[in-house]
Amino acid sequence: MIKITLTDTGLTLPLFAGETYFNYCWLRDACPSCIDPQTRERIFDVASLAELPRARSAHISDEALVIEWQAETQVSHIPLSLLESFATRGRAEDPADLPRTPWYADHGPRFTRVPQQAVLSDPDAKARLTRALIEDGIAIVTQMEGDEDSLPRLVNAIGPITPSAEGLFFDVRVEIEPTNLAFTSGPLEMHTDLPGEEAAPGMQFLHCLENTVEGGLSLFLDGVAVAEALREEDPDAFRLLADNKIPFFYRHDNWDYRAHQRVIETDPEGRVTGVTISQHLQDAMDLPQDLLDSYYPAFIKFLKMMQEDRFLVRFRSEAGNCVIFDNHRIVHGREGYVADSGTRHLRGCYTDRGALRSTYRVLAKQGFDGRTTAEPDLCSA
Ligand SMILES: [Fe+2]
C-alpha cells in the first residue's frame, strides 16, 4: 500500500525520485478534466473556487493519483507519469528539450544534410533535420528546386515565415545602394542577424541560388562552443558578457530599430542558449564607463576567440543548397569576393525557434524522433 500523506496545503507520495510534495492548487490544475478534449485548451480557472482546494482523500489506482476534494464533487485522476516527470525534471516531459551539442572546426562534413524532397515528403527526414537544428543549431538542405516558391515551400514545412525589417525575404547579392554590408562584395565579420530587433530573428534560411564568384567562402561557428570555452578559460569574462546587456541598432531612411541584448545568453540553469554578436550593428556602448574598463577586455577577448581556427567552419555555398541555422546561436560571416568574377546570389528568410521545436514535437509524438546512427551523406558536402 502506497503511503500518501495529506497536509493543509498539499500531499506527499513516494515516487522514483523519492518522497515528493505536490501543492493542492497545482494538483487541481493538473487534473486532465481541466483540459477541453476538443480545443485542448484549459477550461478550468483555479480562481473560480470559493476557497483553496484541499484533498479529502487520495490513493493510487490505474497508474493515476486519485484525489477526492473537500469542497467539490469533482474527482481528479492525475497520471503518475506526469508526477514522475515533475519530480525528476521539475517540468513536463518535452521531446524537444534536447541538449545543444557544441561543435568545432572539424564538424563541417558532419553537418546533417537532407534533400529538399525528403524534407517535404518523408516525416523521418524532416525529424532528422529538425532534431539536428535543435542539437547542432545548423543543417543543410540539398537539391533545392530552383523555382520562386522553393524556399517558402521548405520554410513552411518547418514554421511560418517571420518578417524582419527587410520584409519576408531578403536577397544577399551586390546591390547599388546597399542597406546592409551583406549586400556588398566585402568581407562580412562574424555576426548574428538583426540584434537591433526586440526579438531578433530565430531560424535563418539561406538558399544559394547561384555562386560562381572567386572567394566569398561562408563562415560558421557555434556560439555555444565559443561561450563555453570562454567560461572555461576566463569565468569572469563569461559572467560580464552573460550578465550585462549592450545596445544594437538597425537604422536606415525608413527604420530605426534599437534593442539591448546580452552577448552570451544563458537559461535559468546557467546553460548557454545562444549569443548575440554584430559589430556592424552595435550601437555606442551605454554601460557605465567604469564597468567598461572590465567589460571591453572581456568582449574583445570573446571577439578574438571567434576568429580562432579551432571554431571556424569554412565552406563554399553551392547553388541548390540551403543552409538553415539558429540565428541566436550560430555566428556566421563571409570572406570577401571578387564582385566581377561571377554571380553570387543567396535568398534568405526566417522562421521562429519556437516553431521549429513545435514541428519537432509533433513529429516525435508521431514516432519520428530523428535519431540517426547512419553515416552522413558526404557526397553533397
Ligand atoms: Fe547575416
What does each C-alpha distance from 70 to 11, 34, 52, 104, 313 come to in angstroms?
A: 14, 18, 10, 58, 63
User: From residue 158, how far is each of 3, 113, 205, 282, 321 by CA, in Å?
Assistant: 47, 15, 11, 30, 17
Q: Average of pLDDT values for 35-61? A: 93
Contact in structure between 247 and 286 (CB atoms under 8 Å): yes
Name the pLDDT band for 2 (thresholds 50, 70, 90): confident
Tell how far the Cα of 337 is from the centroid of ligand 1, in angstroms.
16
pLDDT tier at 221, thresholds 50, 70, 90: very high
- DSSP 3-state percent helix, strand, coil across the chain (nearest 5): 30, 30, 40
**pLDDT band per the 50, 70, 90 thresholds, residue 374:** low
Rg (CA), the chain: 25
From ligand 1's centre to the CA of 175, what distance in Å?
15
Backbone angles phi, psi at 110, to 5 degrees: -100, 5
CB burial class (10 A; 0-12, 13-18, 19+) of residue 96? Answer: middle
Alpha carbon 363 to its chain's center: 17
How far is ligand 1, taken at its centre, from the CA of residue 24, in Å?
Answer: 49
pLDDT over 90 (residue 126): yes
Tell me the average pLDDT across 1-23: 95
Global pTM reads 0.90
Task: Name the grid cell of 149.
Answer: 516558391
Dist. CA 316 → ligand 1 center (Å): 16
C-alpha cell at 242: 552573460
Confidence at residue 303, expressed as pLDDT on a 0 to 100 scale: 96
Q: What is the pLDDT of residue 253?
A: 87
Residue 379: pLDDT band with limits 50, 70, 90: very low
Single-letter amino acid, residue 41: E
Average pLDDT over residues 343-352: 93
> pLDDT at residue 288 above 80?
yes
Task: Compute the distance from residue 170 Cα to the ligand 1 centre, in Å.
Answer: 10
How many Å lie between the centroid of ligand 1 and the Cα of residue 182? 7
Q: What is the pLDDT of residue 380?
A: 40
Residue with cell 571567434: 306
Q: What is the mean pLDDT of residues 116-136?
A: 98
pLDDT tens by residue, 259-276: 999 999 999 889 999 999
Residue 192 Cα to ligand 1 midpoint, Å, equals 6
In which element (H, E) is residue 345 found? strand 344-351
If you measure from the C-alpha of residue 249 to the centroid of ligand 1, how many angstroms do you get, rounded to a whole number?
14
Residue 360: the pLDDT is 98
Task: Report yes or no: 43 and 36 within 8 Å, Cβ to Cβ.
Answer: yes
Q: Flag whether pLDDT at 214 surpasses 50.
A: yes
Percent of the chain whose predicted confidence (pLDDT) is above 90:
78
Query: What was the pLDDT predicted at 63?
Result: 95
Residue 344: pLDDT band with limits 50, 70, 90: confident
CB neighbour list of residue 203: distance below 8 Å, 6 or more residues apart: 133, 158, 159, 324, 325, 326, 327, 350, 351, 352, 353, 355, 356
Residue 275 CA to ligand 1 center (angstroms) comes to 14
In the numeric block, the cell 552522413 is attached to: 376
For ligand 1, the distance from its centroid to the CA atom of residue 64, given in whole angstroms, is: 50
Whole-number pLDDT of residue 188:
85
What average pLDDT does range 292-316 have in this prediction?
96
| CA distances in angstroms from 206 to 147, 154, 164, 304, 325, listed in the order given | 15, 11, 14, 26, 9
Query: Cell 511560418 appears where?
Result: 160
User: What does the mean pLDDT of the chain come to?
Assistant: 93
pLDDT in tens, 225-238: 999 999 999 999 99
**Could you give the CA distance from residue 190 to residue 306 in angstroms, rounded to a whole number?**
7
Q: Give the confidence band of 116 by pLDDT, cuts at 50, 70, 90.
A: very high
CA distance 373 to 370: 10
Distance from the alpha carbon of residue 43 to the mean position of ligand 1, in angstroms: 43
The pLDDT confidence band at residue 176, using thresholds 50, 70 and 90, is low
Q: What is the Å distance from ligand 1's center to 191 Cα?
A: 6
Residue 59 CA, ligand 1 centroid: distance in Å: 57
| Alpha-carbon span 333 to 221, nearest angstrom | 9
* 245: three-class secondary structure by DSSP: strand
**How many C-beta atoms lie closer than 10 Å to residue 14's C-beta?**
14
Ligand 1 mean position, distance from CA 120 (Å) = 26
Cell of 130: 529538425
Which is higher by pLDDT, 37 or 296?
Answer: 296
